[in-house]
Homo-oligomer: A and B are copies of this chain.
Amino acid sequence: MHPYRQIVLASRPKGTPTAENFRLETGSIPIAADGQVLVRTQYLSLDPYMRGRMNDAKSYAAPVSIGGVMEGEVVAEVLESKHPDYRQGDLVQGRIGWRTHAAVEPTDLRRTETGVNPVTTALGVLGMPGFTAYSGMKVIGQPKPGETVVVAAASGPVGSLVGQLAQLAGARAVGIAGGPKKCAYVRDELKFDAVIDHRAGDMPEALAKSCPDGIDVYFENVGGPIWQAVLPLLNRYARVPACGLIAHYNGPGATEQDSLSSTMLAVLRRSLLMRGYINTDFVEDHYDDFMRDLSPLVASGRIRYREDIVDGLDNAPEAFIGMLSGRNFGKLLVKVG
């Protein structure tokens, strides 16, 4: 077995990605040039945004090229440093991609700092997904005491934190999740005020029943039928931070209800605020606050999280494909090292 392994984009998916869109490549371990650092991946984070990078579409980030290494953030260990800022054994993180090793510039790395919390949290509740939830709620959602906050994918790394932050702000947290196991987790472990199983068949009615005073913040990370169920319940001056649209990533998914008019008219008639963002938009102004506020809450158990760890880089494509249809349960990570 070759020590170096990487997964590249073999072809662009049409709709839902399949195993054929990925290719495993092997080779020898890269060599660090002067000024570079050689790292070995411990954990790779798999996140829905990666589906967007597989398309050849204009977005906030360039697409992965055909034959290029799949993009992704990892936690890694420094094997060899030819730069004064890092030493062998240092724990770092960076957007190194789906591979076992990399020789990189120090500017592509930062030190992993999770305090007393496990290193895996650097890719989840104390990493990009956590900061996505935190900054979207702080800058756009701004929940107030007594308001109702709704979030889908509520057992996932972003949704679970959105609901818990809503409750810390004194708001009601209503979660949507798929299947009885995830719903039980959201209700019993995360302690959301209400949870709706979107696979139970009566999602719009159940959501309306769980939101008797309407919805003040809808944290949009899925789109599709859930947006259609949320739309009629949004109160005047409701805020909609939008950080993901997993229901749309595999194609337009147009339905009879997929009408632009109804959304635009609701935005107008109810003075709604919809704002798309990517977590990096807010790093400069809010990242330090995030780490200062969240680290102790995670360490004390006041903020809860769940991880779904898959073993081996070779299994990353299958795990990623499964995540797009909700088969993961918690923050999806691949244990590589």
Please tell me if the beta carbons of A248 and B265 are within 8 angstroms of each other in the complex.
Answer: yes
Chain B min CB distance to A241 (Å): 10
Against B, the Cβ 8 Å flags (1 = close, 0 = not) of A255-284 are 000111111111111111111111001000
Chain B residues, CB < 8 A from A269? 52, 57-60, 276
Tell yes or no: A152 within 8 A of B by CB.
Answer: no
Please tell me if the beta carbons of A267 and B276 are within 8 angstroms of each other in the complex.
Answer: yes
Question: In the bound complex, what is the Cα–Cα distance between A86 and B308 (angstroms)?
Answer: 72
Against B, the Cβ 8 Å flags (1 = close, 0 = not) of A54-86 are 000111100000000000000000000000000
Please tell me if the beta carbons of A244 and B268 are within 8 angstroms of each other in the complex.
Answer: yes
Number of copies: 2
Please tell me if the beta carbons of A261 and B270 are within 8 angstroms of each other in the complex.
Answer: no
Residue of B nearest to A278 (CB): B271
Please tell me if the beta carbons of B258 and A242 are within 8 angstroms of each other in the complex.
Answer: no
Please tell me if the beta carbons of B248 and A264 are within 8 angstroms of each other in the complex.
Answer: yes
Tell yes or no: A223 within 8 A of B by CB.
Answer: yes
Tell yes or no: A3 within 8 A of B by CB.
Answer: no
Given A245-B268, A271-B276, A274-B275; A263-B263 close (CB under 8 Å)? yes
Please tell me if the beta carbons of B271 and A277 are within 8 angstroms of each other in the complex.
Answer: yes
Please tell me if the beta carbons of B252 and A264 are within 8 angstroms of each other in the complex.
Answer: no
Chain B min CB distance to A10 (Å): 24
Question: In the bound complex, what is the Cα–Cα distance between A59 and B265 (angstroms)?
Answer: 9
Chain B residues, CB < 8 A from A242? 264, 267-268
How many chain-A residues does the 8 Å CB contact rule pick out? 40
Which A residues from 108 to 140 make CB contacts under 8 A with B? none
Chain B residues, CB < 8 A from A252? 259, 261-262
Question: In the bound complex, what is the Cα–Cα distance between A278 and B258 (angstroms)?
Answer: 25
Tell yes or no: A254 within 8 A of B by CB.
Answer: yes
Please tell me if the beta carbons of A236 and B60 are within 8 angstroms of each other in the complex.
Answer: yes
Tell yes or no: A30 within 8 A of B by CB.
Answer: no
Chain B residues, CB < 8 A from A258? 259-261
Given A60-B236, A236-B60; A271-B261 close (CB under 8 Å)? no
Chain B min CB distance to A142 (Å): 13
Residue pairs across A and B with Cβ atoms less than 8 A apart, 7 shown, are A59-B270, A60-B269, A244-B268, A252-B259, A254-B261, A267-B276, A272-B274
- Give the interface of A toward B (CB within 8 A): 52, 57-60, 220, 223, 227, 236-237, 242-245, 248, 252-254, 258-278, 281
Lowest 6 A-B CB distances belong to which pairs? A267-B276, A268-B276, A59-B269, A252-B261, A274-B274, A273-B275
